[in-house]
Amino acid sequence: MSEKAASESRPLNFIEQIIKKDLDEGVHSNVVTRFPPEPNGYLHIGHAKSICLNFGLAQTFGGQCNLRFDDTNPEKEEMEYVESIKRDVEWLGFEWAGDVRYASSYFDQFYEWALHLIREGKAYVCHLSPEETKEYRGWATKPGKDSPYRNRSVEENLAEFEKMRAGEYDEGACVLRAKIDMASPNMNMRDPMLYRIRKQAHHQTGDKWCIYPTYDFAHGQEDAIEGISHSICTLEFADHRPLYEWFIENLPVPSKPRQYEFARLELNYTVTSKRKLKQLVDENHVDGWDDPRMPTISGMRRRGYSPASLRNFCEMIGVTKSGSTIDVGQLEYCVRDDLNNNAPRAMCVINPLKVTIENVKPETKKTMVQPVHPNKEELGERELPFSREIYIDRADFSEDTTLSRKKFKRLVLGEYVRLRGSYVIKADAVITDENGEPTEIVATLVPKTVGENPPEGIKPRGVIHWVDANDCVDCEVRLYDRLFNDEAPDAGDKNFLDALNPESLQIISGCKAEKGLVNARAEQSYQFEREGYFCLDSKYSSDDKLVFNRTIGLKDNWKK
């Protein structure tokens, strides 16, 4: 999208206004942004907002966006996460500039810049224990005090830092710190850590290093190396900006990027802490990072959310400086709206009840024709077999003849109903088991009612879905709902696990679907008529078993 097109479709958000001003005034000649995830977990809906923002800014202003992994902590990072993040970005419809980038590719340069700070008397090796460091650091309202190692000579610090690199110290024995201001009201400026010892192999650099830079030390320098024009972060990094700028000013970096902050995405009924999401996975509360109940991009993809629906949601909520909690219903609205406009239609009977139509001969085989989508003729038509025996949903039949037509617009014993895209039928009798539960309905059809009104005096109660009992496919249906039943599951002192929704997953086997769904492919969404939106599960489906996940219902059942 061009800048002109974006500005004509909606007002520019505050970051777009900054970029436009920078371009107009010649501060920058082109826009370079970056999406910099740490590969320590799968991306979630909050990252989707950041992806859409950073890549969207590059698209709007004709620039480029880098995908860069901030992989400075080998203890928690894995290649599995790297690959999943790449898939997520591509699935959302974005393409990064050039090769994938890694902070670890710049480790040699970071080390040289650390030496530069030491030589300039602006960094020192500190042997305080973590507990002592915390004590010396002070409080927000109380100045810190200098480390006893703060005034070491340059030569001594260079020697100590080399010992750190050579692996002569154990983890936690010492760190490299910047020498800034232990009395600063900004806690981030109180001699922050630059390097710590981690005797652990790195997924990119192997065993080359046993010391690793901190995120704060690496991040701004990565931006400078890559020539980032606008470094976009969430609001919790606003207090880190003075430190970001201190490094840029005190190091011989090739460019001087600036950091801007926006409000992160907070959703109700949702947890987005990577630590808590990992806990859900590790403790088997969910079926992996891509469980369709998870707020991860891979989970939403497996559930059947479309890339367009997530992009539309991020566009709808906008980019602001003030934080707020967004109603998850807005996300669900975007998903429902996109699928309503684009998902092919199909019929699936989740709780089948057999109907035998007595005035249809046993050998009769007919074909009913329905559109793939009622508003998209270009998608064509689908063929539905029809014979003497069909299935309807058990919930669509009642023996109670006193039910009002207004409240129960389905099949009632002794009355009529229309089968979607087919005949009007009448329920003449019901066969029950020893518990009085219906096992079969005996019915008759009204001739010449396919696409035609029934004769005068016959008034169907409503329209119900069905499938042919002799030419359908068996499937399993998984009815997913929200993972938490508390609007703020991890607020305050709450244990978020206490808010888990025990009804967030219902697995139903023995479902019957129209035969065309045997060709369904993973992540292709369908509207199961009168039931909701579903997609073929990418994990448990096979050539011998079809498993469909409910993406979302036709209506919002969580409205207050």
Give the whole-angstrom CA distance, residue 251 versus residue 498. 48
Name the residues annotated as catalytic: 38, 264, 274
Q: 216: which DSSP letter?
A: H
Burial class (CB in 10 A: 0-12, 13-18, 19+), 554: middle
Are 400 and 410 contacting, i.e. CB atoms less than 8 angstroms apart? no
Give the whole-angstrom CA distance, residue 140 versus residue 131. 17
Give the tokens for residue 183.
């009395």
Comparing CA positions, the residue from 216, 235, 223, 230 lying closest to residue 259 is: 230
Radius of gyration of the chain, Cα coordinates, nearest whole angstrom: 31
Give the whole-angstrom CA distance, residue 377 versus residue 105. 52
Give the whole-angstrom CA distance, residue 514 versus residue 390. 11
* Phi and psi at residue 344, to the nearest 5°: -60, 155
Give the whole-angstrom CA distance, residue 330 versus residue 333. 5
Q: 100: which DSSP letter?
A: -
Comparing CA positions, the residue from 532, 526, 531 lying closest to residue 546 is: 526
At 116, which amino acid appears?
Answer: H
Comparing CA positions, the residue from 159, 158, 166 lying closest to residue 207 is: 166
Give the tokens for residue 234.
């969430």
Give the whole-angstrom CA distance, residue 359 versus residue 346. 27
- Taking CA 504 as the corner, what is the angle to CA 502 and CA 509, rounded to the nearest 5 degrees? 105
Report the relative pairing of strands 230-234 and 258-262 from DSSP bridges.
parallel
Helix or strand or coil: residue 306?
A: coil
Residue 145, pLDDT score:
96
Which residue is associated with the tokens 């508390």? 486
Give the whole-angstrom CA distance, residue 128 versus residue 125. 9
Comparing CA positions, the residue from 552, 560, 554, 547 lying closest to residue 529 is: 554
Give the whole-angstrom CA distance, residue 377 versus residue 373. 7
Are 345 and 369 contacting, i.e. CB atoms less than 8 angstroms apart? no
pTM higher than 0.85 for the full model?
yes
Other CB atoms within 10 A of residue 317 CB: 18
- pLDDT tens-place values along the chain, 560 residues long: 444 444 456 799 999 999 999 999 999 999 999 999 999 999 999 999 999 999 999 999 999 999 999 999 999 999 999 999 999 999 999 999 999 999 999 999 999 999 999 999 999 999 999 999 999 999 989 999 999 999 999 999 999 999 999 999 999 999 999 999 999 999 999 999 999 999 999 999 999 999 999 999 999 999 999 999 999 999 999 999 999 999 999 999 999 999 999 999 999 999 999 999 999 999 999 999 999 999 999 999 999 999 999 999 999 999 999 888 999 999 999 999 999 999 999 999 999 999 999 999 999 999 999 999 999 999 999 999 999 999 999 999 999 999 999 999 999 999 999 999 999 999 999 999 999 999 999 999 999 999 999 999 999 999 999 999 999 999 999 999 999 999 999 999 999 999 999 999 999 999 999 999 999 999 899 999 999 999 999 999 999 999 999 999 999 876 65
- Partners of 69 in beta bridges: 102
Residue 508, pLDDT score:
98
Residue 3, pLDDT score:
40
Which residues are CB-contacts of 43 (< 8 A; sequence separation ≥ 6)? 37, 51, 84, 85, 88, 296, 297, 298
At 166, which amino acid appears?
Answer: A
At 56, which amino acid appears?
Answer: G
The string of DSSP letters for 471-502 reads SEEEEEEEEE--SBSSSSTTSTT--GGGGB-T
Are 384 and 421 contacting, i.e. CB atoms less than 8 angstroms apart? yes
Residue 9, pLDDT score:
66
